[in-house]
Structure 1
């Protein structure tokens, strides 16, 4: 796990966009796209690079992490609609190569299996973008999730539903079930870029980076991943015990490059 400390959320977004840009420019790529508030500035920076610098996603395929059970893809808060609105509709990634779970599938368990198989058929994810939940979840893998799980149906915790309620209209209930790539599925990506900003993520960051690998903090499974980059602003990094060591390591790596 490579921890990069940034001065601001804006710097986190640029650093994430740099890593995505590097991979896309190497040739056809399978991208894993997270939704939520944290990745949005990075997507805006990638859109800017597409429009102003000619960065092309024409050779890319993309898989989203998760979807609410019960929401059709046309629902404004479905994750397919969200990633189209936030990113895909603004770049040249062919919409037919945007793969998302069907939240309104009649058999969610069968849909989870189909989605897992579609990732495998595409050759796996080259670069996965992740956010981090306040309780340490990645995707919708809540505390207690198996560290080797594959794409499945999960129940959302009260905390996650409360965190996500801001995206829904007043009085509209946040779905209680979701389809999500499992921790084992996420861990199979060849490269992972996780973004965390703000003081609300500081405890989860501490548990993910420096705590034991445990289902209590699902993101801690990334300690086992050989090519994970964690991008943090000052507030999200505030509870890390080895903060200065991470700063020194980043500086030495920059000097070497």
Structure 2
């Protein structure tokens, strides 16, 4: 595990974007696992800048998103398909056939989950998986008490997650209560994992994820078992960590 601490959100975003861009440069046909939410937006902005400057191309890149709300059409402004188009896909040269996001309006959830797993395997697995982290320690939409052996599956969203995500909707009642998410086992199969966190509200879960007991009660704690994981944090998110174990890039 490597822990990188930078000054602020923008520096966190730039550092994460550089890690992803380096992966694409080293392997132009990389398979990327991507995340949504407010945390990665800055990273996507920097990735788009790298593309616009000619440093990277997405022509041969394949992407798999972590999750999608159930019962939201992909053209709904709150769907993660819409989010990804707005923040990345419409701004780079990626082929639409190389974009993979769970189908939130599928008629058969189990079959969709199996299909998604097969697509990941058919592409040779994920080279680098980007993660955010919820205040309850969830990664993807894998809420506390999730089974570590879970593959892509349907999840019931935790009350805290629904409350946190309500900022993107007009009212909390509009927030979907279910989603399709890559499971912990799927995430852990990625060759490299990069987790982003910013702000004091993430400090507790970051501390527990790195130093705490490995337990389904805090899903991100399983990352302690991954052979190549990087935490990219701003100073506030890293405020409870042992300073001697951090690569401080703001000194």
Cα shift at 1:52: 2.0
Bigger shift: residues 118-127 or 167-176: 167-176
Displaced runs of 4+ in structure 1, greater than 6 A? none
RMSD: 1.4
Cα shift at 1:121: 1.1
Structure-2 separation of matches of 1:92 and 1:59: 9
* 1:41 maps to 2:34: no
Q: Name 1:216's counterpart in structure 2.
A: 217
Q: Name 2:138's counterpart in structure 1.
A: 137
Where 1:59 maps in the other structure, the secondary structure is: coil
Cα deviations across residues 133-154 of structure 1 (Å, max 9, x unaligned)? 0100000000000112100001
Q: Name 1:246's counterpart in structure 2.
A: 245
Q: Name 1:184's counterpart in structure 2.
A: 185
Q: Name 2:227's counterpart in structure 1.
A: 226
Cα shift at 1:227: 0.6
Where 1:92 maps in the other structure, the secondary structure is: coil
Q: Number of aligned pairs?
A: 248
Q: Name 2:169's counterpart in structure 1.
A: 168
CA contact (8 A) 1:5 1:234 kept: yes
Q: Name 1:204's counterpart in structure 2.
A: 205
Alpha-carbon spacing, 1:171–1:37, altered in 2? closer, same or farther (3 Å) = closer
Structure-1 separation of matches of 2:129 and 2:213: 23
* 1:16 maps to 2:16: yes
CA contact (8 A) 1:3 1:231 kept: yes
Cα shift at 1:169: 2.6
Where 1:236 maps in the other structure, the secondary structure is: coil
Where 1:133 maps in the other structure, the secondary structure is: coil
CA contact (8 A) 1:213 1:221 kept: yes
Cα deviations across residues 195-231 of structure 1 (Å, max 9, x unaligned)? 0000111111011011011111100111000110000
Q: Name 2:79's counterpart in structure 1.
A: 78
TM-score (norm 1): 0.93
Cα shift at 1:170: 3.6
Q: Name 1:121's counterpart in structure 2.
A: 122
Alpha-carbon spacing, 1:172–1:158, altered in 2? closer, same or farther (3 Å) = closer
Cα shift at 1:54: 3.6
* 1:157 maps to 2:153: no
Where 1:71 maps in the other structure, the secondary structure is: coil
Cα shift at 1:172: 5.2
Structure-2 separation of matches of 1:101 and 1:43: 20
Structure-2 separation of matches of 1:164 and 1:171: 8
TM-score (norm 2): 0.96
Alpha-carbon spacing, 1:154–1:171, altered in 2? closer, same or farther (3 Å) = closer
Cα shift at 1:171: 6.5
